Amino acid sequence: MAEINGRAAVVGVGNSDYGQLYRSPDPDRTAIALGLDALKLAAQDAGLALADIDGLILSGVTDTPAQYADFAYRAGMRTIRYLSSNVQSGRVAAPLIAQAAAALATGQANAIACVYAATPRSRNVKFDRGVSELYDSVFGLASPGAQYAMLYSRYLDKFGYLGRHEPLQAAVPIAFRKHAAKNPVATMRAPMSVDDYLAGPYVARPLRRNDYCLVSDGAVCLILTRKDRARDLRCPPVHLSAFANHLTLNETYVPAEGPGERYYAFAQRMIGEVKAEAGIELADIDCLQVYDNFTCDVLWSLEGAGFCAPGEALDWVQDGRIELGGELPTNTAGGMMSEVYMMGWNNLAEAVRQVRGECGDRQVADCKHALYTCLAGQSNMALFSRDG
């Protein structure tokens, strides 16, 4: 990645008004239309004409990846030099940004729009399926959260938290909710107290409803250009200064060697690559945007990146440490639990905006480096940085 990192920049960001969409589910709403709106906003943000964009990377957006032309044609595109159409899956968000950077760095395009769009809320999609070969439903196992919760119980027990993890784990969703209150387009903006958190029922104990991300309609577009082209555009360029990816394959949906065990080793490898590629230390990271599908993944990301030691995260997140004004402001727009579930793309957009310094009430002072982490089935880390 060393040849690629730092040679491409995010120059445009666009997204839906998530709260408005959440409050008005509509079965006729299409992901393509939401994606077109986000693309247009991102192009305006960049100061680029749609005709300047000669590369397209999609995640979701169309019913199947093969239908990319439905989107591209309707976006006004008539010729494309670089095309990559992908499934709608959270773990691929940062890898697709890295793919765009690689394509730009190797001259395959001048400007690439990366678009995520989906309408699971309006279509009443249930995230209730597992891996059929494991006979999940035969044993009553349903929802990705249940599969993560299964490893979370082990983690809690191994590190002596089982039985006293509540209300400690409430600090994570509560922090993100506080941040969402400062984000005009966030879905959930009403304050959440510990009592509110505990009033949310268990879904898969030890996870409660408030430990789960939302199910959301919406779209995000990030436009990248080669670094040398980025300087003339409207906004300060934000560089992808490091990227690392890891996939552990085994018989279950999530890495079963998980919490405190193998996940820690690969997260440590990834953060080592990030620090080496960008030439930074952990202390240089000004904010964290973490793939918060479930509270446990936030805890594991904090430990895996080394912000605290294995087994310490539940204590470490107390007392505002991950809130704005704290040691490591995390998910400063509200994350997937309170802003919107854009499968990581909203977290990436916030990383870019924090580095640009345009976040208003929720801006992290003098933000030079924003780290994105995703410790899901496919895990990755990406660092976004500004010049100098």
Partner 1 sequence: MAPSRPLPQLTVVNAPFWAGCREHRLRLPRCRDCGLVWFPIYERCTRCTSTNLEWIDASGRGVLWGWIEMHKGYIPWFADKLPYNVALIRLDEGPMIYSNIIDARFEDLRADLPVEVVFDDIDDTISLPQFRILPS
Q: How far is the CB of 205 from partner 1 (least distance, A)?
A: 4
Smaller CB separation from partner 1, 133 or 195: 133
Q: For 100, list phi and psi in degrees, rounded to 5.
A: -60, -45
For residue 11, give the 3-state DSSP assignment. strand
Q: Which amino acid makes up residue 149?
A: A
Q: How far is the CB of 134 from partner 1 (least distance, A)?
A: 5
CA-to-CA dists, residue 220 to 115, 147, 375, 383, angstroms: 6, 27, 21, 18
Here the tokens at position 133 are 């070969």
Dist. CA 135–CA 341, nearest whole Å: 28
Residues forming contacts to partner 1 in the complex (CB under 8 A) are: 126, 128, 131-143, 146, 149-154, 157-158, 162-163, 201-207, 250-252, 256, 258
Smaller CB separation from partner 1, 143 or 331: 143
DSSP 363: P
Count CB neighbours of 206 within 10 A.
21
Smaller CB separation from partner 1, 33 or 203: 203
160 sits in the region (left: phi over 0; alpha: psi -120 to 50; else beta) called left
Dist. CA 233–CA 169, nearest whole Å: 42
Q: For 203, list phi and psi in degrees, rounded to 5.
A: -105, -65
Q: In the annotation, is 291 catalytic?
A: yes
Would you list the DSSP string of 345-356? HHHHHHHHHHHH
Smaller CB separation from partner 1, 254 or 352: 254
Smaller CB separation from partner 1, 205 or 231: 205
Active centre residues (catalytic): 291, 341
